[in-house]
């Protein structure tokens, strides 16, 4: 593993993380950053502003994401944890980059295109409800990454394009000014973890409301597990069981042994879906209960979270100012 590479990733404070976020993004990113002091985990709160959330929600969800990182195993004395709005250098860099980024690149960005497609489908003006923050989203994201010279950006598949735009922006800036001042980042996408489906079999997503919450009470987990769609087919082969939503979720949470065991029990009909769901609940409890306790304790002490975020930002601001200073010298304002 490349211990000296700079790793950086962020989670927007727009909702409560679910097990799909954890298994596909949070856990792999933390695993990669073990023993790497150059790891940056942050909360892009200004990105969340574009979603139009009210102030108290932004504040609450910022605490939720910070507590999620910490309860998931982030050690804020070894890895950097901060929020975007505490690093104003990011926004100054964004303004500078604006002058280098062709408008056409933004027209092609997924986040904007998705909003346009929805409007076209609803027969509204293409730019209905699109703010400039959403339109220029990839430039702010590029600033997040480039200000800390990140080499690797662990992300989900939906964010690959944004990291590529960041790379293109860095490349364009460097060639415009004839030097290698900005590091070209690359995206890191976990290949081993398949996408965890939601309880209805579609992609697990906040917007479909089909998710299993990551840190929760047993009751909340149980309610989500109960909603997993199961067929009434009581005759399963190992192959057909593998195709079920239940199996896909179970095998993402449990280890191989426990997964093989439950497959066998379903196939030989020693248990039915009810018992299988009880077993899934136990798996959730054994994997996430202790972490949930840490999470809820932290959320009861938001002053502590605020302190961690504040000192996290203070520690790394000098890195951001150094990058910004070099950029300002390069463009002729310093």
Binder of ligand TRP out of 18, 47, 63, 80 (CB under 6 A) = 47
At closest approach, how far in Å is the CB of 10 from ligand TRP?
A: 4
Alpha carbon of residue 162 to chain centroid: 13
Q: Is 54 exposed, middle or buried (0-12, 13-18, 19+ CB in 10 A)?
A: exposed
Rounded CA-CA distance 65/295 in Å is 10
The Cα-based distances of 254 to 280, 283, 284 in angstroms read: 8, 6, 8
153 binds ligand TRP (CB under 6 A): yes
- Phi, psi angles (nearest 5°) of residue 152: -130, 135
Shorter beta-carbon distance to ligand TRP: residue 134 or 228? 134
CB of 51 to ligand TRP, least distance (A): 10
68 forms part of the interface with ligand TRP (CB under 6 A): no
N-term to C-term CA, the chain: 38
Binding to ligand TRP by residue 83, rule CB under 6 A?
Answer: no
Does 187 bind ligand TRP (CB under 6 A)? Our answer is: no
Q: Which of 6, 12, 32, 66 binds ligand TRP (CB under 6 A)?
A: 12
State the number of binding residues for ligand TRP (CB under 6 A): 13
Q: At closest approach, how far in Å is the CB of 39 from ligand TRP? A: 12
Of 5 and 289, the one with the shorter C-beta distance to ligand TRP is 5
Tell me how far, at minimum, the Cβ of 251 lies from ligand TRP, in Å: 25
Residue by residue, DSSP assigns 154-177 as E--GGGHHHHHHHHHHHHHHHHHH
Indicate which single residue of 10, 20, 24, 197 sits in contact with ligand TRP (rule: CB under 6 A): 10
Binding site for ligand TRP (CB under 6 A): 8-10, 12, 44, 47, 141, 144-145, 153, 155, 159, 162
């Amino acid at each position: 593993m490349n211990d000296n590479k700079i790793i950086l990733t962020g989670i927007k404070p727009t909702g409560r993380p679910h097990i799909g976020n954890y298994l596909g993004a949070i856990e792999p990113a933390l695993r990669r950053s073990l023993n790497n002091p150059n790891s940056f985990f942050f909360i892009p709160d200004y990105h969340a502003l574009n979603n139009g959330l009210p102030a108290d929600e932004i504040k609450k969800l910022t605490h939720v994401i910070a507590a999620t990182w910490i309860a998931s195993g982030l050690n804020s004395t070894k890895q950097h944890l901060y929020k975007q709005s505490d690093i104003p250098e990011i926004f100054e860099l964004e303004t500078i980059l604006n002058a280098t980024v062709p408008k056409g690149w933004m027209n092609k960005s997924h986040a904007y295109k998705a909003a346009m497609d929805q409007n076209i489908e609803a027969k509204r003006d293409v730019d209905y409800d699109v703010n400039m923050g959403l339109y220029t989203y990839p430039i702010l994201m590029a600033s997040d990454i480039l200000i800390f010279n990140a080499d690797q950006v662990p992300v989900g598949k939906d964010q690959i394009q944004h990291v590529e735009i960041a790379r293109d922006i860095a490349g364009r800036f460097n060639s415009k000014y004839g030097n290698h001042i900005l590091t070209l980042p690359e995206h890191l996408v976990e290949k081993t973890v398949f996408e965890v489906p939601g309880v209805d079999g579609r992609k697990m997503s906040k917007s479909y409301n089909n998710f299993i919450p990551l840190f929760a009470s047993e009751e909340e987990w149980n309610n989500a597990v109960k909603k997993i769609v199961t067929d009434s087919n009581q005759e399963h082969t190992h192959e057909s069981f593998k195709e079920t939503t239940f199996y896909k979720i179970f095998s993402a949470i449990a280890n191989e042994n426990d997964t093989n065991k439950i497959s066998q029990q379903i196939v030989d009909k020693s248990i039915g879906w009810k018992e299988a769901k009880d077993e899934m609940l136990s798996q959730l409890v054994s994997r996430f209960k202790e972490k949930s306790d840490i999470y809820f304790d932290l959320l009861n002490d938001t002053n502590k979270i605020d302190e961690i975020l504040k000192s996290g930002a203070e520690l790394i601001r000098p890195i951001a100012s150094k990058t910004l200073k070099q950029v300002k010298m390069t463009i002729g304002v310093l």
